[in-house]
Amino acid sequence: MKQSLAIVRKSPLFIPAMMVPTAIMLIFSFFSLTAPLDSAKVAKAFRLGIVNNDTGLTFPPLKVSERMLEGMSANLPFEIVQLQEKDAALAALELGDVAAVLVFPAAFSKLVASGDPIELEIFNGNHLTLLETQMSAQLPAMMQANFSAGVLLLRDALSKGQMPDGVFPIVTSVTTLHKAAHPAALVAPFVMTFTTWLASFVGAMLLFLASKTVAHGASMALVRSVLPIAVTGIAAFVLALTIAGTTGAFAMLLSLWATIWAATLAISWLMGGLFAVGGLAALVLVLPVVFYQTSVGGAQAPLAAAPDWLQSIGAVLPFDQLGAMYRAAVHGGGAGVPYDLLGITAVVGLALIWLGSVFLGRAKAE
């Protein structure tokens, strides 16, 4: 073992194999967690352009659209921008000055009073930022539900000869479980998931290349099995410290470290085993697994939101449990540590390392 370590240390890839996983976790987590998006600010940055062509009612003298907007504006999470004409609003949407446009027809108040169906025009676009595009895609359903409720209230008031105020009779009381104390905490589980896979992949590949100079056998297998323990331990501590520092959750430092270390070590062994058996050809399998974690990692979105073919893979290889574990580690609640998944991953990885380093190596030598 000592002789094999001495041989590995002479490889020009030894230092990168020891340092790069830590560097990946530090650099990616630092820049991701020190400038997280605030969901409240994202909503406020969404600008909805309103073109109100409503001519109102003669008796009672009322512009229903204005009453509805007054009643709804306090409950809308985004900014409303009043625009005079439809063409000007579409030009503003084209330039990105607004993220969507809502147009009230001239007969809106009359249609509300008459009980006839009403059609509102909504314009959005996919040329804006991803978050603006996603919010504008949800806007039609949101507006339809809100305005439908508002119209029913107004019609009820008008039928009773009362002046409608546009105020909804129901208010909501919101209780948020496991509320994040800092915006960085919302990003942390995704950062943990992606860096775990990326650092494990790069570290395992570099260690595989650095250890190729060692003779095949138990010594090579031990080097590939033991060194990841130290490498992932240091990398996991750096990532846990970065998360604790950016979120202020220093009380969770040790638990975060242990959780990240266990996951990163298990995946590093699995990656190392794949390289030991398949060589660099294992990249064909490893690269998609690593970079599809944004869809199936269980931290950024539920597995059900992934494309069907990725969902089928995720059902067989449920690594979205790692994202759930990281969410629970940061926020509390939710899933615990998937000991069975981590254990199976570690055992399979070590078995592949020994198979590729000892048995397959000897077969090739013969």
- Of 173 and 359, the one with more pLDDT: 359
pLDDT score, position 132? 84
pLDDT digit string (tens) for 126-169? Answer: 888 878 888 888 888 888 887 787 777 777 766 666 665 555 66
pLDDT score, position 219? 87
pLDDT score, position 153? 72
- Give the neighbor-by-neighbor strand order of the sheet with 121-124: 79-83, 47-52, 100-104, 121-124
pLDDT score, position 365? 44
Tokens 């546009």 map to which residue? 166
**Complete domains list, the chain, with CATH:** 2-36+182-365 (no CATH), 39-159 (3.40.1710.10)
pLDDT of residue 204 exceeding 70? yes
Residue type, 119: E
Which range of 39-48, 111-120, 235-244 scores highest in mean pLDDT? It is 235-244
pLDDT score, position 171? 62
Helix (H) / strand (E) containing 83: strand 79-83
- Of 298 and 268, the one with more pLDDT: 268
Which range of 20-24, 176-180, 214-218, 355-359 scores highest in mean pLDDT? It is 20-24
Q: Describe the crossing of helices 2-9 and 218-247 by its angle, rounded to 10 degrees.
A: 60
Report in angstroms the alpha-carbon separations of 357 from 261, 346, 360.
Answer: 24, 16, 6
Residue type, 139: L
Q: Describe the crossing of helices 253-278 and 320-331 by its angle, rounded to 10 degrees.
A: 160
pLDDT digit string (tens) for 5-59? Answer: 677 777 888 888 999 999 999 999 999 888 877 777 777 788 899 999 988 887 7
Dihedral sign (CA 187, 191, 192, 193): positive
The whole-angstrom separation of Cα 253 and Cα 2 is 33
Cβ atoms of 115 and 121 within 8 Å: the answer is no
Cβ atoms of 275 and 282 within 8 Å: the answer is yes
pLDDT score, position 71? 67
- Of 312 and 209, the one with more pLDDT: 209
Residue type, 137: A
The whole-angstrom separation of Cα 5 and Cα 364 is 22
pLDDT score, position 268? 97
For the chain, what percent of residues have pLDDT higher than 70? Answer: 91
Residue range 246-275: average pLDDT?
94
pLDDT of residue 94 exceeding 60? yes
The whole-angstrom separation of Cα 249 and Cα 272 is 32
**pLDDT category of residue 113 using cuts at 50, 70 and 90:** confident
pLDDT digit string (tens) for 288-300? Answer: 989 988 888 888 7
pLDDT of residue 366 exceeding 50? no
Cβ atoms of 353 and 269 within 8 Å: the answer is yes
pLDDT score, position 160? 65
Q: Which two tokens mark 274?
A: 């794949």
